[in-house]
Amino acid sequence: MADRHEAALAAAHLRARAWLDGLEDRPIAPRADAETVKDALGRTLPDEGEDADAVVLRLADAAEPGVMAMGSPRFYGWVIGGAQPAALGADWLVSTWDQNTAIRAVTPGVVAAEELAGEWILDLLGLPPTSDVGFVTGATMANFTCLVTARDAVLRQAGWDAAHDGLAGAPRVRLVVGAERHDTVDHAARMAGLGAPRVVEADDQGRIVPAALAGALADGMGPAIVVLQAGNLHSGAIDPLAEAIAIAHREGAWVHIDGAFGLWAAASPRTRHLTEGLADADSWTTDAHKTLSVPYDCGIAIVADARALRASMGMTAAYLQTAASVDHADPHDRVPELSRRARGVPTWAALRSMGRSGTIALVDRLAGSASRLAIGLAQLPGVEVLNDVVFTQVCAALDTDERTDAWAEALRTAGDAYASSSRWRGRSVLRFSVSNWATDDHEVARTLAAASRALATVR
Ligand SMILES: Cc1ncc(COP(=O)(O)O)c(C=O)c1O
């Protein structure tokens, strides 16, 4: 059996090593588009098969020109973490073991690592230790998981059993969000049958305005969910959690916090003050594939009331041989999926490899690099940093949208550093999201040099 895998795994190892070795210096953006890669892969399904190692080598040869070097320490696009070594190694084992991680008694080896990872995350973030933790594909699905749980819970409180009676005829659940929530909150809400949210004002950094939240909640009756944000993807700002949670709870609302990357501010004594009040919410979203630099895909849904999560996500079937009890749910009782890979295991490996001090150092390094990047960018001629850099995001712009876009394009084309473009507060911006475990002072200096060279090409 092992012999049958040997050549394919050796080929994969060889090409993975070459990819990782080249990551620091290769141009970051892909050089081939998807159609070119299809040509290189071969478009027609051949009649005859091919040896496994040849398939792996064919894939590496054909696809690599189209692979973005997202693991580069100078990659700042969207909000994308790298893959730190222990997590990557563990991820290989997860694929090799190929455990269908649905049932505790069936795959105890990987469930143990996932459950420990969940406990450690609660500890690092200062969240209630009795919360339950589900490993999903990303923050979008974590938001979905938590919003479905919230919906069912507030309806239950209003005397409506959504699990039995569905949503038709149910009291309307009011969903209240800040003007700069992430778009996936609306997407998750739509999938959860909550419809469009009531949007309340945000301040100049994108933080929800507590008085506006209070007004919106007072302006209606019935079950309510409030979604707050820890980490605005343009500014990195975190909503005034303590005040907003108190307002929402006074009105009987469930409070969910989308902290896809910003929840990790709570792990470090240097940034923890930004998240004051965090633990008083009812549910939280975060990602391991962002700040923690765990390979895709791993999102984390956390719910303070474990019974509520299991009431919404749990299921039974005679053939599954589940052993779920109130004390120990099965993994599938915490997430929408039944079958899934053991995606929490690389998170365990990342945390075990860094330890508490290393995790704090990671958060500090990302925030510190963002702050140094902002200082350096602001010293470049004509560059303005638009946000207060409190965590890991930096938005920079030139005097006109055209010049900003040209600067961004020149930077990406040169290939030494990659930041993505966006629009924020009515302007084109070049966004630097510092989310890779390997970004440090040296890489920040290289990034600033690349940004300066790109700027020189803009008329
Ligand atoms: C605040 C916030 N929420 C949700 C998401 C969506 O995350 P994912 O792509 O992991 O689903 C992001 C992505 O950047 C984000 O920044």
Residues 263, 363, single domain; the answer is no
Residues 6+ apart with CB under 8 A from 263: 125, 230, 231, 257, 275, 278, 284, 285, 286
Q: Which protein residue has the closest C-alpha to ligand 1 atom 2? A: 260
Number of domains, the chain:
3
**Ligand 1 centroid, distance to 260 Cα (angstroms):** 5
Residue 46 falls inside a structural domain = yes
Domain end call among 329, 349, 369: 349
Specify the CATH number for the domain of residue 186.
3.40.640.10
Under a CB-based contact definition with an 8 Å cutoff, are residues 133 and 122 in contact?
yes
Residue 12 falls inside a structural domain = yes
Residue 76 falls inside a structural domain = no
Pocket test of ligand 1: the residue of 180, 182, 284, 289 to mutate, having most ligand atoms within 8 Å of its CB, is 182
**Ligand 1 centroid, distance to 300 Cα (angstroms):** 11
Which pLDDT does position 322 carry in this prediction?
72
Residues 11, 119, single domain; the answer is no
- Which strands, in side-by-side order, build the sheet including 427-433? 384-385, 393-397, 427-433, 420-424
Under a CB-based contact definition with an 8 Å cutoff, are residues 224 and 173 in contact?
yes
**Cα dist. 394→146, 234, 374, 375 in Å?**
29, 7, 6, 10
* Nearest alpha-carbon partner for 335 in 143, 162, 186: 143
Residues 252, 399, single domain; the answer is no
Kindly provide the residue ranges of all beta strands, DSSP E only, lying in 224-282, ordered along the sequence. Answer: 224-229, 254-258
Mean residue pLDDT across the chain: 96
Residue 79 falls inside a structural domain = no
Residue 365 falls inside a structural domain = yes
Residues 234, 317, single domain; the answer is yes
* Mean pLDDT within 251-256: 97
Pairing of strands 224-229, 174-178: parallel
Between CA 376 and CA 448 the distance in angstroms is: 7
* Nearest alpha-carbon partner for 363 in 441, 260, 292: 292
Residues 285, 335, single domain; the answer is yes
Q: What is the pLDDT of residues 155-194, one digit of tens each?
A: 999 999 999 999 999 999 999 999 999 999 999 999 999 9
* Mean pLDDT within 123-127: 98
Between CA 59 and CA 45 the distance in angstroms is: 14
Specify the CATH number for the domain of residue 408.
3.90.1150.10
DSSP-assigned states of every residue in 397-433: E-SSHHHHHHHHHHHHHH-S-B-EEEEETTEEEEEEE
Residues 327, 265, single domain; the answer is yes
* Nearest alpha-carbon partner for 228 in 277, 270, 271: 277
Residue 304 falls inside a structural domain = yes
Residues 159, 173, single domain; the answer is yes
Residues 364, 437, single domain; the answer is yes
pLDDT band at 325 (very low <50, low <70, confident <90, very high): low
> 299 forms bridges with which residues in the sheet?
136, 287
Pocket test of ligand 1: the residue of 76, 137, 184 to mutate, having most ligand atoms within 8 Å of its CB, is 184
Give the residues surrounding ligand 1 with Cβ less than 6 Å away.
Answer: 78-79, 138-140, 182, 184, 231, 233, 258, 260-261, 287, 299
Q: Which protein residue has the closest C-alpha to ligand 1 atom 15? A: 260
Residues 226, 126, single domain; the answer is yes
**Ligand 1 centroid, distance to 139 Cα (angstroms):** 5
Residues 364, 257, single domain; the answer is no
To 5 degrees, how large is the angle CA 235–CA 136–CA 289?
A: 45
* Mean pLDDT within 62-71: 97
Q: Which atom, in ligand 1's list, is nearest to the CA of 287? A: 10
Q: What is the pLDDT of residues 190-233, one digit of tens each?
A: 999 999 999 999 999 999 999 999 999 999 899 999 999 999 99
Residues 379, 447, single domain; the answer is yes
Domain that includes residue 403, residue range:
354-456
Question: Is residue 403 exposed (0-12), middle (13-18) or buried (19+ Cβ within 10 Å)?
Answer: middle
Residues 223, 254, single domain; the answer is yes
Residue 230 DSSP one-character state = B
Under a CB-based contact definition with an 8 Å cutoff, are residues 442 and 368 in contact?
no
Between CA 311 and CA 158 the distance in angstroms is: 16
Domain end call among 35, 67, 99: 67
Tokens representing residue 324 in the block: 């779920």
Tokens representing residue 407 in the block: 């600067």
Residue 77 falls inside a structural domain = no
Residue 75 falls inside a structural domain = no
Q: What is the pLDDT of residues 354-403, one digit of tens each?
A: 999 999 999 999 999 999 999 999 999 999 999 999 999 999 999 999 99
Under a CB-based contact definition with an 8 Å cutoff, are residues 382 and 330 in contact?
no
